[in-house]
Structure 1
Amino acid sequence: MQYTTLGNSGLRVSRIILGCMSHGSDKWADWVLNEDKSLPLLKAAYDKGIICWDTADAYSNGESERIVAKTIERFNIPREKLVIMTKVYFGIGDEMSEYVLGQSPQELEKHGSRYINQCGLSRKHIFDAVEGSLARLNTSYIDVLQIHRYDPTVSNEEVMGALHDVVKSGMVRYIGASSMFTYQFQALQCTAKLNGWTQFISMQNFYNLLYREEEREMMKYLEETGFELVVLSSLYFAALHVFLGVLLLSDCFLDPGMILHPNA
């Protein structure tokens, strides 16, 4: 395995990052692997030198983070040997079968008062989400906390101020962003820089052979400013794969809505 620094930070990560969205509970989504199948795969990845794992609080309504914790405990993996990345923004369903990933705070509130302040990037939700992730991951810190989406309903000052404070509290080591436009990412970075706050070290966006929009602006911006692109869905939701020498493309994966708003 090869290793590199993440952006302009000193954090070293494996060039291949293990995405954990498909590890959790099949009650949340039928394509998700349960604990009995997930744990050996995560251990095999670790044995191959893939020491950076990327999950999110919303994946399997928190079960994905628990799977990461169980793997560490089951196989006695030293916590400091891993780089754990997780995310904050989306809500978590009360029941495992409740799939609320992809819903905005306004959409989620339609489910009832139990979801008020349970989604988005308000200071309250950022702190609550971090504390929840720490409990599920059974760890005292998160290596990289990524905001899962840009939240236009909360000021950039509130978002970046809260992220800076969770870093200073010791609960989070670094921060990153995910799934947003270049101007949104740049605005958040400028807000942090102007106030002397912690800045992002990475940007996770949708990029693959079929969807290359990031080459227009985001990748150029990241290269010029010293930040790192973490590739999301490099196989285009598994639509890109070779079987017996044939490239298989399913029409269901060519929905523009999935490209513009990938729920990952």
Structure 2
Amino acid sequence: MLATKLFNRMGDGPGESGTSRRAVMEQIDASLTRLGTDYVDLYQVHRFDPNTPIEETMEALHDVVKAGKVRYIGASSMWAWQFAKMQEAARANGWTTFVSMQDQYSLIMREEEREMFPLLADEGVSSIPWSPLAAGVTARPWGQKSTARGTANPDTDPKGRPLWIPEDQSVVDAVERVAQAHDVSMAQIALAWVLRNPVVAAPIVGATKEHHLADAVAALDVVLPDKEVAALEAAYVQRQPTYFS
């Protein structure tokens, strides 16, 4: 299955960023050329574009579906009200609606549970979470940065909002205890917790080593009893969503 995104700047021209009709039309062709294919299975709006009318974006996405260049469309990190408005604009005009939401979701970033996940459940839309291991933070004991990703990852998003807060340590410590009880890796426990949410279809695993894929597959077989789920969730506190406005 092939998936790609639209929004971030790819060049200097007027159609090189955002979700205007020009951007949608030009960037899907550019993506198909780079991928060496005639279509993609999933074309995603990487972020909400406040500078383009919603109807313009949704009609253009519908047109690339009808042209056979895209099979399904999805969205990524945005506020629930923005996603709802885009869906309603498509429905009202008989255009293609989103089938997926790629949002940030992990044991230490659960803000999507407040509004987005209930909306997705009501709409019949699946979540394909990004950073389900919180950049590896929930995959190893607290403070351990033994990987290149862990060492290079910033402490804040581009707007200065913290990615990690002191309460995260208690969450990670709980993951470590549950993993030891099951005699499996922390990554398997953290992924198993993400997978148990009924709106989650498949977390996006940023695998850089073969064992990362093995852990992801093995997480499908991990069964977390309610007592362990409660222990994993107990220390979570409300926080600011990151990486979108």
Give the conservation status (yes or no) of the 8 Å contact 1:237–1:253.
no
The residue number in structure 1 matching 2:30 is 132
> Which residue does 1:25 correspond to in 2?
none
Q: Matched residues in 1 for 2:122 and 2:14: separation?
A: 39
Q: Which runs of 5+ in 1 are unaligned?
A: 1-82, 94-113
Match in the other structure for 1:161: 59
Q: Give TM-score, length-normalised by structure 2.
A: 0.60
Give the letter for the 2:137 counterpart: A
Aligned to 1:247: 142
Instruction: Please say if residues 91 and 115 of structure 1, whose CA atoms lie closer than 8 Å, have aligned partners that are also in contact.
Output: no
Q: Deviations over 1:129-153 (max 9, x none)?
A: 0000100110000100000000011
Where do 1:1-264 residues align within 5 Å? Answer: 83-92=1-10, 114-242=12-140, 246-248=141-143, 252-253=154-155, 256=161, 260-262=241-243
Find the aligned partners of 1:254 and 1:119 in 2 and give their Cα distance.
24
Higher RCO (C-alpha under 8 Å, 6+ residues apart): 2
2:59 and 2:144 mapped to 1: Cα distance? Answer: 43
Residues 240 and 249 of structure 1 are in contact (CA less than 8 Å); yes or no, is this contact kept in structure 2? Answer: no
CA distance in 1, matches of 2:92, 2:162: 35
Q: 1:253 to 1:235 in 2, by over 3 A?
A: farther
Asked if structure 2 preserves the Cα contact closer than 8 Å seen for 1:241 and 1:247, the reply is no
Alpha-carbon spacing, 1:261–1:123, altered in 2? closer, same or farther (3 Å): farther
Q: Percent identity?
A: 41
Deviations 1:80-119 (A, max 9, x none): xxx11110011125xxxxxxxxxxxxxxxxxxxx343310
Provide, for residues 154-183 of structure 1, a one-character-per-residue CA deviation record: whole Å limited to 9, x for no partner.
Answer: 001100000000000000000000010100
| Cα drift, residue 248 of structure 1 | 3.2
- Residue 15 of structure 1: aligned partner: none
The 8 Å contact of residues 241 and 248 in structure 1, kept in 2 or not, is answered as no
Gaps of 5+ in 2: 146-152, 164-239
> What secondary structure sits across from 1:240 in the alignment?
helix
What is the Cα-based RMSD across aligned positions, in Å? Answer: 2.0
* Cα distance change, pair 249–173 in 1 and its aligned pair in 2 (3 A): same
The size of the alignment, in residue pairs, is 158
User: Higher Cα Rg: structure 1 or 2?
Assistant: 2
Length-normalised TM-score, structure 1: 0.56
